[in-house]
């Protein structure tokens, strides 16, 4: 029996209101790339439509589906993209009701019943998707409908929903093939945020899965678990070498939740970059507890330019409650990062439970007094799958389930005892202005502008965050 044709879609934001949005910055759809690579390795004909990053209209998406005539369409979605994913699935069924629709990603993992009932999906893949999607496609190719045997899915059986139970996480993630960037027809057009890299010469890489910290506002552990599973240094280096030599990548953003958790592995990766003479610049996420002078020295030698720290709060009691951190640990991490010659970026947020005007002022003051190169400020958003979502639902704090509003740069979607949603958003915008509109910070960033595209990217960032 001929194997089915598969199309994987990253949906455009705004399709539900017929106003497709092209984001100002683009990042490669790693989740779909991993699934596509697994399917290709097993001889499936698979294509990717990254509609999200290039603002494809519904008409463009439909035309691609009609031209390809896929047997199976997989759609990924973060929460803000869920309405668009549902619209696409409904249009697919109008084109050909026999096309199998599958939804994965963080929102579907947290809200499988919604995706099946409201989203016109036949299946939902829960959590890690590579082997689950492969098994679903294998069953389809054999005409086998014993879906109960596939762990990690939900599907409709008449008017009821069947959940097949949790699929064990892949413990040896070296087994998973590298993302196949060759499936992206517009690889060179991806334009990252300024601190991630340069247009046409960058890639995103994940070297581990899971996070032991389990922050209240984060849904990563629902998808990938709390156990930290990491790729070997040798496996990571093979991918970095492939990206550099085959795709001319010079800038890499490591998107692990905490890249520096196992420091010897980090050192081994850095030594490999140096030994292989990989001319790359890179950045990563780290936890303030998980860096020291030795590992930072190796990171600098191997081309690390910037480390992004999840600081989140400037009030000591809020830090201890939500991050199990203290200000001295953060100050030390930033200090030794700077001494190593690596720039430090801080993430901060406004609107956690218990937030007051005093704690907001403390966060902004802390951000401005730390020797940071750059900072990001967001409004707290209770994404489904996070402990914060569970807390907000339990305490009847959710204002809306219009998923298109679930953005860390929009009005808050929860109610506060001490604030209006507008107050939180105004605090976020004021924080950006007060942090960046300082002579020292402006000088840092003007000095980084080397091309017209660099200048345009900084203008785009200002329009997003300062208006």
Domain ranges across the chain: 5-163, 192-466
- Residues 330-386 have pLDDT tens digits of 999 999 999 999 999 999 999 999 999 999 999 999 999 999 999 999 999 999 999
**What is the C-alpha separation between 411 and 371, in angstroms, rounded?**
29
**What is the C-alpha separation between 363 and 77, in angstroms, rounded?**
31
> Does residue 93 register a pLDDT over 90?
yes
Backbone torsions φ then ψ of 315, nearest 5 degrees: -95, 130
| pTM, to two decimals | 0.93
Confidence of residue 186 (pLDDT cuts 50, 70, 90): confident
| Predicted pLDDT at 290 | 96
Per the CB < 8 A criterion, the answer to whether 102 and 122 are in contact is: yes
| Predicted pLDDT at 125 | 97
Q: Burial of 375 by CB count in 10 Å (0-12 exposed, 13-18 middle, 19+ buried)? A: buried
Q: Tabulate helix, strand, coil % of the chain (nearest 5).
A: 45, 15, 40
**What is the C-alpha separation between 86 and 120, in angstroms, rounded?**
6
| Predicted pLDDT at 462 | 63
Averaged over 151-168, what is the pLDDT? 92
DSSP 10-62: EPPBTGGGT--B--SS----HHHHHHHHHHHHTT-EEEEEEHHHHT--HHHHH
> Does residue 277 register a pLDDT over 90?
yes
> Does residue 187 register a pLDDT over 90?
no
Element (H, E) at 374: strand 374-379
Strand 5-10 versus strand 123-125 pairing type: unpaired
At which residue do the structure tokens 């990603």 appear?
105
| Predicted pLDDT at 394 | 96
User: Would you identify the CATH topology of the domain 192-466?
Assistant: pyruvate-formate lyase- activating enzyme (3.80.30)
Q: Mean pLDDT over all residues of the chain? A: 93
Confidence of residue 265 (pLDDT cuts 50, 70, 90): very high
Q: Which CATH architecture group holds 5-163?
A: 3-Layer(aba) Sandwich (3.40)
Distances in Å between the Cα of 125 and the Cα atoms of 30, 105, 180, 385, 404 are 16, 8, 21, 14, 22
Confidence of residue 188 (pLDDT cuts 50, 70, 90): confident
| Predicted pLDDT at 1 | 62
Per the CB < 8 A criterion, the answer to whether 194 and 448 are in contact is: yes
Return the minimum-mean-pLDDT range out of 12-21, 242-251, 435-444.
435-444
In 187-328, the DSSP E strands lie at: 202-205, 208-209, 229-230, 251-254, 281-286, 304-312
Averaged over 251-279, what is the pLDDT? 97
In 259-359, the DSSP E strands lie at: 281-286, 304-312, 343-350
| Predicted pLDDT at 140 | 85
- Residues 143-155 have pLDDT tens digits of 888 999 999 999 9
Averaged over 302-311, what is the pLDDT? 97
- Residues 403-458 have pLDDT tens digits of 999 999 888 999 998 888 899 999 999 999 999 988 888 777 666 777 776 666 66
């Amino acid at each position: 029996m001929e194997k089915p044709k598969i199309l994987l879609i990253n949906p455009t934001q705004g399709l539900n209101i017929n106003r497709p949005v092209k984001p100002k910055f683009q990042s490669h759809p790693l989740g779909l790339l991993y699934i596509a690579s697994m399917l290709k390795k097993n001889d499936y004909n698979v294509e990717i439509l990254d509609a999200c990053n290039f603002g494809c209209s519904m008409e463009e998406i439909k035309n691609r589906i009609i031209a390809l005539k896929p047997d199976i369409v997989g759609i990924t979605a973060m929460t803000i993209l869920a309405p668009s994913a549902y619209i696409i699935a409904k249009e697919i069924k109008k084109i050909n009701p026999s096309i199998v629709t599958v939804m994965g990603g963080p929102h579907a993992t947290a809200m499988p019943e919604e995706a099946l009932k409201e989203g016109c999906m036949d299946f939902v893949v829960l959590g890690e998707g590579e082997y689950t999607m492969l098994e679903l496609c294998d069953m389809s190719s054999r005409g086998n409908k014993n879906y109960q045997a596939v762990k990690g899915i939900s599907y409709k059986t008449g008017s009821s929903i069947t959940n097949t139970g949790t699929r064990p996480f892949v413990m040896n993630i070296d087994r998973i093939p590298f993302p196949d960037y060759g499936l992206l027809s517009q690889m060179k057009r991806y334009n990252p945020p300024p601190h991630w890299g340069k247009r046409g010469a960058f890639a995103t890489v994940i070297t581990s899965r899971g996070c032991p910290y389990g922050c209240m506002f984060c849904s990563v552990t629902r998808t990938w678990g709390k156990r930290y599973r990491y790729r070997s240094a040798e496996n990571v280096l093979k991918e970095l070498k492939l990206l550099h030599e085959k795709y001319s990548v010079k800038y890499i953003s490591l998107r692990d939740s905490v890249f520096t958790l196992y420091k010897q592995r980090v050192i081994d990766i850095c030594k490999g970059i140096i030994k292989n003479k990989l001319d790359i610049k890179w950045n990563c996420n780290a936890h303030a507890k998980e860096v020291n002078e030795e590992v930072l020295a190796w990171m600098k030698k191997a081309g690390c330019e910037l480390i992004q720290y999840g600081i989140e709060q400037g009030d000591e009691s809020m830090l201890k409650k939500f991050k199990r951190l203290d200000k001295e640990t953060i100050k030390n991490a930033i200090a030794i990062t700077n001494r190593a010659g690596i720039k430090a970026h801080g993430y901060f947020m406004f609107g956690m439970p218990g937030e007051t005007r005093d704690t907001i002022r403390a966060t902004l003051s802390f951000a401005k007094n730390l020797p940071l190169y750059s900072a990001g400020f967001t409004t707290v958003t209770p994404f489904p799958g996070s402990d914060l979502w569970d807390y907000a639902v339990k305490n009847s704090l959710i204002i809306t389930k219009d998923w298109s509003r679930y953005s860390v740069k929009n009005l808050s979607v929860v109610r506060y005892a001490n604030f209006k949603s507008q107050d939180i958003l105004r605090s976020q915008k004021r924080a950006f202005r007060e942090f960046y509109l300082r002579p020292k910070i402006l000088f840092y960033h003007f000095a980084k502008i080397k091309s017209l595209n660099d200048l345009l990217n900084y203008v785009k960032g200002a329009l997003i965050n300062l208006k």
